[in-house]
Chain A
Amino acid sequence: MKKYFIPFILLAFSLSSPVVFAEEPSKEYALKAAYLHKFFFFADWPEKAFYEAESTIVIGILGEDSFGGIFTQIEGKSINGRRLTIRRFGETSLPEMLRRCQILFVSRSLDKDEKSILASLKDYPVLTVGETETFLESGGMIGFITKKNSIRFEISQAAAERAGIKIRAQLLRVAVRVIEE
């Protein structure tokens, strides 16, 4: 039996109108944005991941940016002693650019190119986060799923480990599904 907490019930009502999603940062993407930057606290990157500047953490958004101005509120904040930076990438961005991110959100808008994009990032320490149902099967690491009006996620620990990223047990426990091998 699963108990619902009031915020989630409120969220469920708000989700009933898809129009809200398109126009301004919806509650869905507000949550996804919050989750995205929190992933930093539950995963460990190898040292080589931070090659650009040691003092920044980069969250990349590939494809359609549905987050609106949400990130402007948290950009520049310090996480684990590093400054949070948001970078937006177009559909044609080079994989070399994408590889500089620590977390890369792949928008639903790129579901066709998912596989190729993820393949180009294979074995690079980039935590890939997607929102399609096939994201993990395409080689992604964390996939958001909207389950019963709430945002959950599933994790491919195997993909993360291949890339040298250690995902903490706490996060694994919260995940709906974990692919280990």
Chain B
Amino acid sequence: MKNGLENRKVTPGSLIKWFGKIRIKQKLVLIIMIVSLASMLIASGSFLIYERIIMQQRMASDLSALVEMLADNCEAALSFNDPTDAKHILSSLKAVDSIAFASIYQADGTVFATYQRSDFEMGKIPEPQSDGYHFGKDWLVIFKQISLGGKPIGTAYLQSDLSAISEFLRQSLITLGVVVMFSALFAYYLAIRLQRVVSTPIFHLSETAAAISKNRDYSIRASIFGEDELGVLTAAFNEMLSEVEKSHSSIRDSERKFRTLVDNIPVKVFMKDKESVYLSCNPSYAADLDISPEEISGKTDYDYYPVGVAEKYRADDKRIIESGKREDIEEEFIQHGRHCWVQTIKIPIMDDANNVTGILGVFWDITERKLAEEMREIHVAQLENQSAELERFTYTVSHDLRSPIITIKGFLGELIKDAEEGDIDRLHGDIKRISTAATKMGNLLEDLLNLSRIGRIADEPVDVSLDKLAHEVAESLHGPISERGVRLEIESDLPIVRGDHVRLHEVMQNLIENAIKFMGDQTRPGIQVGSRCVDDETIIYVRDNGQGIDPVYLDKIFGLFEQLDGKTEGTGIGLALVKRIIEYHGGRIWVESEGPECGSSFCFTIPLKGVS
């Protein structure tokens, strides 16, 4: 209750506050009304005061004339002691409404005659005084000496009420009130009309400013209404708008270019604030997160990444915000079951005062590059391997080819000498030696040619039944098999594969020949050709119970010219050839052996029929 009253109290402060809140239009009208009302009231007040003074003066002079006349008229009555006549004279005052009381005194101050208005009751009759009038609160009183021949014979007294003045003032007040009221109404009407001259440009200007700030449309211009200060202000405002529009359009232009760049660049771009909360990202990144670009605002890494990853990212952000230095980070992770790499550049965003306000992140997928690098490394290793192989090959070839040539050359000399001596037996022996060496050289060259052909000359792949193939090989090796007394077992359900028939024949032949060759001292030699399934992969093997291989050499035996011992005949190309053929077909080959005298089994895989 008390508060409510206090709140409603009008204080100068609250008035000023209220005045500050109302519109200029209302302010102008209010000011005009205050000014015109104040001037009207002052004018009216002055008029009333002036009128009152004039009225009083007139009344005083009227009354003076009246008392003068009274004094003149009463001279005889006083001179000849006729109060009846004086009373009669006084009674004529009835005609004057304002006179409430009148009296005539004799020279000695005694009352000679009186008059009293019918509605008036006089209390004590005043003592006679010297000439003059004075205004009381309700009365104007006047004394006038009556004299005859310069000798005072009495005094006249008049008392007039001021109701005429107050009545006149009351009527004037009503009239003025009405006049002021109509004037105020007219002034209000004029104020409403005329304030527009000032308020319309201001209102228009403020409307324009509001429209601009609402719609961000800087092409709007305020109309200029005149050449006064408001006109100058409006012109300056328009000029500023032009400037703003120009710079705004260039900003928009650059913004558009920037947007276009960011939206279309294949790398991922995002922005975060100082708290590592996302502000925005480009469509590329959004597509990566499977969201629309708008959705990211307000989100954090926790919303999109596993906790560990998110924490790592946020730690990176924190470090960069604190250091203010750009960082280049390469990251590796598993996405959709695939190994991925990305390169991320995080750049601190600075404001004009060089404070970090956030982070700009740019990253892109470098998986392909990484894979390419890995591939390159593999290729380099392969190339190094090949180059070593080539070197060895060159060395071996030149060495191996030289030895039969030396033999041939040597025996050619012997041949010439023996021919001169005519020793036919030795001549035959020489020729046989030369022939053997030439054959050996021919074989070597044949093998090398064969090896080089792989990968260069390819027949159309066909379905090859390994079952059938093994039997063909067994047929062609019938000689060596029966010579060594080997028992050859071929599994009947070997798979049908797709490949080059001739090459695969060579593989099978080489493997079986090898097995026969390295039977060692085995008294009951046996070779088994079969297949087994491991992890959806069919492995074909050729197993023997021969001399076996020291595990140390398991990897080496597929190298070119890697002969494990010098005693064995052969060019040292066979297994290298086999390996190359299998790899050419997209398979793998390896050897398993428990060690010397434990036998060995050569295993390989090869794409089955119907698998491209």
Contacts and interface: CB of A to CB of B under 8 A. Distances in A.
Interface in A122-181: 150-153, 168, 170-171, 173-174
Contacts of A79: 149
Contact of B75 (A7, A40, A41, A152): A41
B368 interface: no
Interface string A1-16: 0110111100000000
Interface string B73-85: 1011101111111
Interface residues of B, number: 16
B73 A170 contact: yes
Contacts of B83: 3, 5
B197 to A, nearest CB: 74
Contact of B80 (A3, A6, A38, A40): A38
Interface in B63-99: 73, 75-77, 79-85, 88
Given A8-B81, A38-B148, A173 B110 contact: no
A6 B110 contact: yes
Chain A residues touching B, majority SS: helix
Given A41-B148, A79-B149, A173-B85, A35 B80 contact: yes
B76 A150 contact: no
Contacts of B75: 41-42, 170
B79 A41 contact: yes
A162 B148 CA distance: 27
Contacts, number: 48
B352 to A, nearest CB: 111
Nearest to B113: A3
B76 A170 contact: yes
Nearest to B151: A77
Given A7-B81, A150-B81, A171 B76 contact: yes
Determine the interface band of chain A, counting residues with CB < 8 A from chain B.
20 to 34
A116 interface: no
A80 interface: yes
A35 B148 CA distance: 12
Nearest to B82: A174
A42 B73 CA distance: 11
Contacts of A41: 75, 79, 148-149
B76 A42 contact: yes
Contacts of A168: 76
Contacts of B77: 170, 173-174
A170 B148 CA distance: 13
Nearest to A153: B80
A5 B104 CA distance: 13
Contacts of A174: 76-77, 79-80, 82, 85
Contacts of A173: 76-77, 85, 88
B541 interface: no
Nearest to A7: B81
Contacts of A7: 81
B110 A80 contact: no
B278 interface: no
B85 A5 contact: no
Contact of B112 (A5, A42, A151, A153): A5
Contacts of B85: 173-174
Contact of B79 (A3, A5, A38, A150): A38
Contacts of A35: 79-80
A5 B88 CA distance: 16
B33 to A, nearest CB: 64
Contacts of A171: 76, 80
Interface in A71-128: 79-80
A69 B75 CA distance: 26
A131 to B, nearest CB: 15
A79 B85 CA distance: 25
Contacts of B112: 5
A3 B110 CA distance: 14
A49 B73 CA distance: 27
A6 B110 CA distance: 9
Nearest to B80: A174
A168 B148 CA distance: 14
Contacts of A8: 81
Given A41-B79, A170-B77, A171-B76, 19 more contacts: A2-B84, A3-B84, A5-B83, A5-B112, A6-B110, A38-B79, A38-B148, A41-B75, A41-B149, A42-B76, A42-B79, A170-B73, A170-B75, A170-B76, A171-B80, A173-B76, A173-B77, A174-B80, A174-B82
A-B pairs with lowest CB-CB distance, top 6: A170-B76, A174-B82, A174-B80, A174-B76, A38-B79, A174-B85
Interface of B: 73, 75-77, 79-85, 88, 110, 112, 148-149
29 contacts: A2-B84, A3-B84, A5-B81, A5-B83, A5-B110, A7-B81, A8-B81, A31-B81, A38-B79, A38-B80, A38-B148, A40-B149, A41-B75, A41-B79, A41-B148, A41-B149, A150-B81, A152-B80, A152-B82, A168-B76, A170-B73, A170-B75, A170-B76, A171-B80, A173-B88, A174-B76, A174-B80, A174-B82, A174-B85
